[in-house]
Structure 1
């Protein structure tokens, strides 16, 4: 295994009662890059993503993270190893403020999530780190705002902040721009770029303009198989990719 690759799959396959959703996928994600997984509807993106993040168990094949076989590992186990799916562990509590939400996430890291009797002094000791995280994702001005009052885009930014509290080496994002307007998309794309500075990011995303702007490498799936891989400039000129998208009418 090359040390350049943080995650690799070999012959990754998932079958559901005779239907093969993912078939013999070989994937390599390089460290400190943004790698996008795209494809038309029914391509197997979500299934592949759920296999990588251990929400599904492969029917065949192998998954390695940092050279270690995680094929049979549980989501919590790989999170402890440094690979975290955004929204997998993070949770936004609408009645808590932005700062309190991130502080809860930091308590998880310390293993004190359920120590509700801790003193205010102990909890406040987490404020500096929490404020650093909310500053990093651009929601510092909403520090004392209940999360339930945030716009959709800022709520997603807060969710990323709670994920970053786990200090992941690799962050997996499942359609981070879904349901967002133009301004929120721009803000979230800038956030993803910032947090990728010292992390690896793998994302499933339908918005091809976002994929083009952010991704170092793109893997295109069709009918559960890898159709093409490369930079956006390369895959956008691939006749098979163009045909796949024109045929589906949806990215």
Structure 2
């Protein structure tokens, strides 16, 4: 299935870029000479077999790790040596493989907590709890956008696994990201939840760039505009899904044989 590619002035706009990205751990090179361009309003998949270096690339882009060599730019600004919190404030926000919500808070309160920083309330501890009521309208908008309106007042711990991941997407959207990095958003989900989350990501990507690590190749095929395949820390192939899925090197990396 082909995926429509949104264009801006005839070409997609690069919002996150890496050149010559490398990370060494002692004598082991986890990522080597990776060039990556992530475009506005597109879903970009980073795939590869286990141990290919996908999570390391995520950690480098979000500055949880410092590259040994190479440069990273976000919205045209060099962020190679920038601290993770500053990068996040610039609009580069990631999720993790494990759901990161407050289990004993309601869906509404989880989203309101996430909204505090972009609305200047995160450090104003002296204000009464009622000050957060000003965030309700935006929180409800985010909750509706991910289809959680029926669970608005539910405690997060009572949600299904899939719904918790959806809530996590809502809390990351509360930070108004320009680039959203999703680390295996479909991991552990049933078929129904996978379809739901895929549609949410599709909608999210209408207004921002999405880079995702994902093992569900059916999702990658139908959702992603561009695919980068890693193997042993290096780029093995890239292009749309139809192109990379026909590459014999990719088939060998995934299946141990060039046979389909």
TM-score by length of structure 1 reads 0.93
**Which string of whole-angstrom CA distances, capped at 9 and with x for unpartnered residues, describes residues 27-76 of structure 1?**
11122110000011111111111111111110111111112111111211
Greater shift, 221-230 or 111-120, is seen at: 111-120
- Report the equivalent of 1:240: 249
RMSD (Å) for aligned C-alpha atoms: 1.8
1:59 paired to 2:68? yes
5+ residue gaps, structure 1, are none
Residue 178 of structure 2 is matched in structure 1 by: 169
Aligned-partner Cα distance in 2 for 1:87–1:125: 29
For residues 126 and 26 of structure 1, the distance between their equivalents in structure 2, rounded to whole angstroms, comes to 40
2:236 is aligned with 1:227? yes
Name the counterpart of 2:94. Answer: 85
Q: What do the CA deviations read for 1:86-115 (whole angstroms, capped 9, x no partner)?
A: 259x94111111111111111122232354
Q: Which of the residues 61, 80, 96 maps onto 1:71?
A: 80
Distance 1:103 1:87, change over 3 A: farther
Question: Cα 1:114–1:149, aligned 2, differ >3 Å: closer, same or farther?
Answer: farther
> Any conservation in 2 of the 1:35–1:218 contact (CA below 8 Å)?
yes
- Corresponding residue for residue 104 of structure 2: 95
SS of match in other structure, 1:79: helix
Pair 1:185–1:34, CA change in 2 (3 A): same
Count of residue pairs the alignment pairs up: 246
Aligned to 2:194: 185
Please say if 1:155 is aligned against 2:190: no
Change (3 A) 1:237 1:91: closer
> Counterpart of 1:219 in 2: which secondary structure?
strand
Distance 2:240 2:29 in 1: 27
2:21–2:34 Cα contact (<8 Å) kept: yes
Summarize deviations over 1:212-234 as a string: whole Å, max 9, x none: 11100000011111111000011
Match of 1:39 in 2: 48
SS in 2 for 1:125: helix
Match for residue 6 of structure 1 among 15, 25, 46: 15
Is the 2:40–2:207 Cα contact (8 Å) retained in structure 1? Answer: no
Shift of 1:127: 0.7
1:197 deviates by: 1.0
1:216 equivalent in alignment to 2:216:
no
1:96-150 CA distances to partner (integer Å, 9 max, x unpaired)? 1111111111112223235455335422121111000000011110011011110
Separation in 2 of the partners of 1:93 and 1:115?
20
